[in-house]
Amino acid sequence: MDTNPSIQYIKGVGPGRSRLFERKGVTDLVSLVHFFPVRYEDRRRIIGIGSVRYGRKEVVVGEVYRASIKKARGRSIFEVIIRDDTGYLALVWFHFEYAYMVKRFRSGSRILAYGDIGSFGNMPRMIHPDIEEFDRTGDDTLSFGRIVPVYPALEGMSQRIVRKIMKVALDTHVGTLSEYLPEAVRRLYTLPGFSESIYGLHFPGDEVSVEALNQQTSPFHRRIKFDEFFFFEMALAIKKRQSRHRDGIVFSPSASGMMDAFEKGLPFSLTDDQRRVVGEISGDLASGYPMNRLLQGDVGSGKTVVALYAAVLAIGNHYQVAFMAPTEILAEQHLRTIGSLTRGMQVRSALLKSDTKPAERKRILGELSDGTLGLIVGTHALLQPEVRFRNCGLIVIDEQHRFGVVQRMELKKKGNNPHMLIMTATPIPRTLSMTAYGDLDISIIRQMPPHRKQVRTLLFYRKAQRQGIYDLLRQEMQKGRQVYVVYPLIEESDAIELLAATKMYEELKREFYGFRVELLHGKVRGEEREQRMADFKEGRISMLVATTVIEVGVDVPNATVMFIEHAERFGLSQLHQLRGRVGRGAEQSLCILYAHSLTAEAHKRLDAMVRTSDGFRIAEMDLEIRGPGEMLGIKQSGMPDFRMASIVRDIDILKTARDAAFDVVNGVVALDRSDKLMLYHHLRGYGSRAVSLIGV
C-alpha cells in the first residue's frame, strides 16, 4: 500500500475537493495530517436554553418549535425557533436554500446548535449556527460534545467536511504514520509519540485543556514544534561537524614580528572584549581547524581592528586576505583604515571596485594572483571569476547581513580551505543566531571603546516642531560639527522617492544657506560619491543628506547629529544602525527621529528607540515585531520558515531541540543502528528543505 497517497485518493476528497486542498499546499496524506487546526472550540457542555449568556459561544439542544421565512429590514431570513424545558432560542440564516431548510427543520425534531449568543427583541438568538440533528448523532460526532478543531478556511468546503475527511484519513492511515524520533530522545524530553500527537492535534481528548490547545502549548504542539526545530538543528549540527576536519591552515602567532609592530602602532589600546575576541580568533587560527566564526558587535564597538589583527596574522604567515564589504563607501573606508593601521609594515593592499579602470584592474588582479598583494578589499566585485588568489588564507566578510549564504560560500571557494570571519553590527538575539547561524562559532563584543557618550535620542512628529529641529541643527553646525540627514528610500530605483529626497535636499540647502549641504544616494556613482564621502569625512561638508547608503559602517567622529526623516518607515534594527553613525567622537551626539505619520504601533516602536540604546535589546524587540523573516531576509539567511514553531515564542523548545540534535550528532546520546537509519532517512524527507538550504 502507498504510505503517502496523493490527496485526491483520500476517502471523501476526490478531484474537486483535492484542488481546494492543493491551494493550501495540501497535496498528499502527509501534508493533510500536517494541516493543523488554527483554533479549538470547547463544545463539550450542553446547557439549558434558559441559562445561555449573551456574548458567549454556547451549545444547546432544543426541539424545533417553528421554522419560517421572515422579512427583516427588507431581506428574507430563515428563522427556526427551538425550545427546551427552560426557554426559547432563535436560529437565524441570512443565506439559505428554502426547500432544504424546510426539510431539515421539521417541527418536533431535535437540534444541536452551537454559536454566538446575541439577541433580537427579547429572545436570545444565534446567527448562522453550527447545527446537527441530535437524534442522528452517534457517539462519533465531530462537531459537538467534544473539543472541536477549527481549520484554516478552505473556500468552498465547510468545516464539517474538513473534519470528516481528516477523521477518516486519520482512522485509516494512522498506522502508517510511524515514529521517527528515537525512543531515547523522546524519553529524555518527555515527548508524546508522533501518531498520538498528530491525532491529538486534530481530535484532542479530554486529557488536554482547550487553553493549552489554543495557546499551542499542549504536549502535542510541543512535540511537533520540537520536530521542526530538531531536524533543522540536526542539519546544522551535521554541517558543523563536517567542517571540523583537521585540515585548516595553521597560523603561527610568532611567524614574524608583525603582530608586535601592529599592536604597538595602534593609536589606542584594545578593550577587554576586543582582547578576548582576538584571543578566540587566534585560538581558531592556530588550531588546525578552519575557522568559521561570526563576530557580533554593536555599531562602533570596534570590530574592524579585531579583523585586522587576524589579517595581519595571516599576512605575517605569508597568506593572502580577502576583505569583503557590502558597499563601496565602506570598502573605501576599510582600505583607508587598513592603510593607517598598518603604516610602516610590509602590508600591500588594494581596493577592487566594479568600476575600477581596466589598466588598474589588470594590475591588481595580476598582483593578486602572483602573491604580491597581501590584502584585497572589495564589494561583490571580489566574487567575479577573474579574481584569483595565489594563496588566500583568510576571508573577512563585513556587515554580513547584506550578503547571502551562497555568496559566503562562493568567496570561500577562492581560497584553499581558508579561515572565515564574518562580522555583523546587527545584534542578533541568541535564538536567531542559534538557527540562522547555528553552524558557526560566535564571538560577541558588548563593550564600547572608552570615552563614548551615549547618543541622546529625540522623537518629533509635529510640523510645528520642525523649525526647532532646524535651529538645533544650525547650532551644531555653527560649532563646527557635522550633520547627517537620512531620507528613506525603500527601493533604490524608486524614482518618486528619489525625487522626494532631492526636494528635501533643495529645501535644506535653502534653509541652511551658508553651510555646505550635499546629497548622496545610490545613483551618485564612483568617483563623485567617493569625493563627497571624503569631503564629509574631512569636514568640508556640514550636512550630508543621504538615503540609506550611509547606513552601514561609515565612521566620521565629528558628525554629531543624525536626523532621520520618516523614521516610522524604518525597522528598529535599521534605526539603531543609523544612530550608530554618530556618537563616535568625544562630543555629545544627538539622534532626531521625525515621524510623518504615527500609528500607535509605530509610536511604540520609536519610543523604544528613545528609551534604550542596547542593541541586543532592540534586536529582540525587532524580532518580536517583525519576525525573523523580515529581520534577516529569509531568503538570504538560509533559515526555513517553521510551520508551527516560532523562534520568538518557543525559545525553550528551540533550546531543547538544539541540545538534543547536537547531542545526537556528536554521539552524546547513544543510538542504535536502526534509530540512526530512521533519523537520517527522515532528515532527508521531512527536513529536505533545511538540508538542501544549508548544503548537507
For 66, the grid coordinates are 417553528
Please tell me whether residue 94 binds ligand ADP under the rule CB under 6 A. no
Burial environment of residue 226 by CB neighbours within 10 A (0 to 12, 13 to 18, 19 or more) = buried
SS percent in the chain: helix, strand, coil, step 5: 45, 20, 40
Q: Taking the complex as a whole, how short is the minimal distance between the CB of residue 553 and Mg ion, in angstroms?
A: 4
Among 271, 292, 482, 637, binds ligand ADP (CB under 6 A): 271
Nearer to Mg ion, 324 or 519 (CB): 324
Is position 274 an interface residue for ligand ADP (rule: CB under 6 A)? yes
Beta carbon nearer to ligand ADP, 301 or 356: 301
Binding to Mg ion by residue 687, rule CB under 5 A? no
How many residues bind to Mg ion according to rule CB under 5 A?
Answer: 1
Interaction between residue 276 and ligand ADP (CB under 6 A)? no
Which residue is associated with the grid cell 550635499? 518
Binding mask 536-565 for Mg ion (x = CB under 5 A): -----------------x------------
By the rule CB under 6 A, 427 interacts with ligand ADP: no
Rg (CA), the chain: 32
CB of 267 to ligand ADP, least distance (A): 7
Stretch that binds ligand ADP, among 4-12, 168-176, 269-277, 493-501 (CB under 6 A): 269-277
Strands 590-594 and 456-460: parallel
- Shortest reach from residue 620's CB to Mg ion, in Å: 22
Binder to ligand ADP among 290, 300, 316, 640 (CB under 6 A)? Answer: 300
Q: Output the smallest distance, CB 304 to ligand ADP, in A.
A: 3
Q: In the complex, which residue's CB is closest to Mg ion?
A: 553
Q: Which residues fall within 8 angstroms of residue 82, CB to CB, at 6 or more apart?
A: 49, 60, 62, 63, 64, 65, 88, 89, 91, 111, 113
Q: Which position's Cβ is nearest ligand ADP?
A: 302
Among 213, 294, 324, 425, binds ligand ADP (CB under 6 A): 425
What's the angle, vertex CA 684, arms to CA 18 and CA 244, rounded to 5? 155
Query: Can you tell me the distance from the alpha carbon of 429 to that of 439, in angstroms, rounded to the nearest whole number?
Result: 16
- Count of residues binding ligand ADP (CB under 6 A)? 17
Residue 270's binding partner among ligand ADP, Mg ion, none (Cβ under 5 to 8 angstroms by kind) is ligand ADP
Rounded to an integer, what distance in angstroms lies between the CA atom of residue 321 and that of residue 311?
A: 6
Nearer to ligand ADP, 18 or 274 (CB): 274
Per-residue x/- marks for ligand ADP, 551-590, CB under 6 A? --x-x----------------------------x------
Is residue 449 within the footprint of ligand ADP (CB under 6 A)?
yes
Query: Contact 129/91 with Cβ under 8 angstroms?
Result: yes
Interaction between residue 427 and Mg ion (CB under 5 A) = no
| 299 vs 397 by CB, closer to ligand ADP | 299
d(CA 582, CA 482): 10
- CB neighbour class for 603 (10 Å; exposed up to 12, middle 13-18, buried from 19): middle
HEC string for 353-419: CCCCCHHHHHHHHHHHHCCCCCEEEECHHHHCCCCCCCCEEEEEECCHHHCCHHHHHHHHCCCCCCE
User: Least distance from C-beta 308 to Mg ion, angstroms?
Assistant: 11
The reply to whether 270 sits near ligand ADP by the rule CB under 6 A is yes
End-to-end CA distance of the chain: 31
User: Minimal CA–CA distance to 349: which of 326, 325, 315?
Assistant: 315
Contact range with ligand ADP by CB under 6 A, out of 51-59, 300-308, 370-378, 426-434: 300-308
Residue of 37, 182, 302, 316 that binds ligand ADP (CB under 6 A): 302
The answer to whether 302 contacts Mg ion (rule: CB under 5 A) is: no
Q: Does the footprint of ligand ADP cover residue 268 (CB under 6 A)?
A: yes
Show the binding pattern over residues 304-343: x = contacts ligand ADP (CB under 6 A), - = does not: xx--------------------------------------
Q: How far is the CB of 297 from ligand ADP (least distance, A)?
A: 5
Q: 331 in helix, strand or coil?
A: helix
Taking the least distance from each CB to Mg ion, the nearer of 553 and 687 is 553
Q: Which residues contact 135 (CB under 8 A, 6 or more apart)?
A: 109, 110
Distances (CA, A) of 505 to 278, 330, 502, 509, 513: 43, 23, 5, 6, 12
Q: All 3 cell numbers of residue 524?
A: 551618485
Strand partners, 42: 147
316: contact with Mg ion by CB under 5 A = no
Query: Which residues of this chain interact with Mg ion, rule CB under 5 A?
Result: 553
Query: Which residues of this chain interact with ligand ADP, rule CB under 6 A?
Result: 268, 270-271, 274, 297, 299-305, 425, 449, 553, 555, 584
